[in-house]
Amino acid sequence: MTSKPLENYQELGDIVVDDALIAAYLQQNPDFFERHPDLLQQMRLQHDGRGAVSLVERQQQVLRQRLAQLEEEITELMTTARRNEELFTRYSELYVHLLCCRDISEVMDALQRTFSEQLNMPALSLKFFDSPLELAEQFTFAADTHKQLLSKRFAHSPIYLGRLTADEQKLLFPNEQIASVALLLLGEQGELGMLAIGNHDASHFEPAMDTLLVRQLQALLSKILPPLLTHYEAL
Average pLDDT, the chain: 82
Assign domain 101-234 one CATH number from 3.30.565.10, 1.10.3210.10, 3.40.50.1820, 3.30.450.40: 3.30.450.40
pLDDT of 166 higher than 50: yes
Q: How many CB atoms lie within 10 A of CB 139?
A: 18
What number of CA atoms fall less than 13 Å from residue 43's CA on the CB side?
A: 12
Residue range 158-173: average pLDDT?
89
Closest CA to 119 of 144, 94, 102, 139: 94
**Which has more confidence, 15 or 213?**
213
Query: How would you class 42 by CB atoms within 10 Å of its CB: exposed for 0-12, middle for 13-18, buried for 19 or more?
Result: exposed
pLDDT of 212 higher than 50: yes
pLDDT 10s digits, 61-103: 778 888 899 999 998 889 888 888 998 999 999 999 999 999 8
Least confident piece of the model among 138-152, 174-188, 196-210 = 138-152
pLDDT 10s digits, 32-53: 877 877 776 666 666 565 555 5
DSSP annotation string for 35-68: H-HHHHHH-EEEETTTEEEEHHHHHHHHHHHHHH
- d(Cα 98, Cα 94) in Å, to the nearest integer? 6
**Domain edges within the chain:** 6-61, 101-234
Residue range 165-178: average pLDDT?
86
pLDDT 10s digits, 3-30: 444 444 455 555 566 788 888 888 888 8
**Which has more confidence, 155 or 232?**
155
CB 201 within 8 A of CB 122: no
Residues with Cβ < 8 Å from 44, sequence gap 6 or more?
A: 52, 53, 54, 55
